[in-house]
């Protein structure tokens, strides 16, 4: 019998979490990709682009206060798992309070995906999602994260990065080829979605 999943709709970010997001953006603007969390329209497009309803293992890089994480959990099958890797201790603490047994939270760097997967006993992911701002990080770190993503992905897996600027696309073309590109205008700011599929 499949266990009932908690109602995550009621765990959408409340005003205090939006304030936490804003405070973290002000404190560390180079590490937080936006001044406010993702819109529900962007969340839906991420779920669709990544084909999450068919995924077994998902890694999310830079989940922030967890708006996208909740959307992912609502879309994932009951037997799936998601590992959220968050550099901000404050955001990681918020994420760890989400009442879903499918979610594991790693307070650490996106450059150590394979190590995080091993520590949490997870297999190669079908999907890696990224909201981390590649445009504000050093070029070498951006390359290292993309290489880690590609090495960790299962064959046929997808890497989906939602970004305000095109830096991840520029770096990705050099390492893993040209992505498919979409855009979500109903978000502040509007976001591009870059999707690569591993052969």
- Per-residue pLDDT band for 122 (boundaries 50, 70, 90) equals very high
Q: Give the per-residue pLDDT at 4.
A: 52
> How many Å apart are CA 25 and CA 47, to the nearest integer?
24
Q: Give the per-residue pLDDT at 38.
A: 82
Share of the chain above pLDDT 90, in %: 78
Class of domain 13-197 (CATH, top level): alpha beta
166: exposed, middle or buried (Cβ count in 10 Å: 0-12, 13-18, 19+)? middle
192, two tokens: 């591009």
For 44-68, the pLDDT digits (tens) are 999 999 999 999 999 999 999 898 9
What average pLDDT does the segment 174-189 reach? 95
Q: Give the per-residue pLDDT at 36.
A: 65
What average pLDDT does the segment 124-148 reach? 96
> How many Å apart are CA 141 and CA 128, to the nearest integer?
17
Share of the chain above pLDDT 70, in %: 82
For 13-44, the pLDDT digits (tens) are 444 454 454 455 545 554 444 446 788 999 99
What are the angstrom distances between the C-alpha of 134 and each of 91, 93, 140?
A: 19, 23, 11
Q: Looking at the predicted structure, is the pLDDT value of residue 133 above 70?
A: yes
Give the start-to-end residue ranges of the domains of the chain.
13-197
What average pLDDT does the segment 118-145 reach? 97
CB distance 153 to 121 below 8 Å? no
Q: Give the per-residue pLDDT at 37.
A: 76
Q: Looking at the predicted structure, is the pLDDT value of residue 189 above 70?
A: yes
- CB neighbourhood size of 4 (10 A): 7
């Amino acid at each position: 019998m499949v266990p009932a999943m908690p109602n995550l709709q009621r765990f959408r970010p409340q005003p205090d979490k939006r304030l936490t997001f804003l405070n973290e953006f002000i404190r560390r603007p180079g590490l937080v990709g936006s001044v406010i969390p993702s819109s529900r329209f962007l969340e839906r497009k991420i779920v669709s682009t990544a084909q999450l309803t068919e995924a077994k293992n998902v890694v999310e890089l830079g989940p922030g206060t967890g708006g996208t994480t909740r959307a992912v959990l609502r879309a994932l099958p009951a037997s799936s798992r998601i590992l959220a890797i968050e550099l901000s201790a404050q955001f990681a603490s918020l994420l760890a309070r989400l009442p879903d047994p499918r979610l594991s939270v790693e307070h650490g760097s996106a450059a150590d995906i394979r190590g995080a997967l091993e520590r949490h006993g997870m297999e190669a992911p079908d999907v890696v999602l990224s909201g981390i701002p590649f445009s504000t990080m050093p070029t070498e770190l951006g390359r290292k994260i993309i290489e880690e993503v590609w090495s960790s992905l299962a064959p046929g897996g997808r890497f989906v990065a939602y970004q305000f600027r095109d830096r991840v696309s520029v770096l990705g073309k050099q390492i893993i080829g040209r992505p498919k590109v979409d855009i979500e205008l109903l978000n502040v700011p509007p976001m591009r979605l870059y999707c690569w599929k591993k052969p």
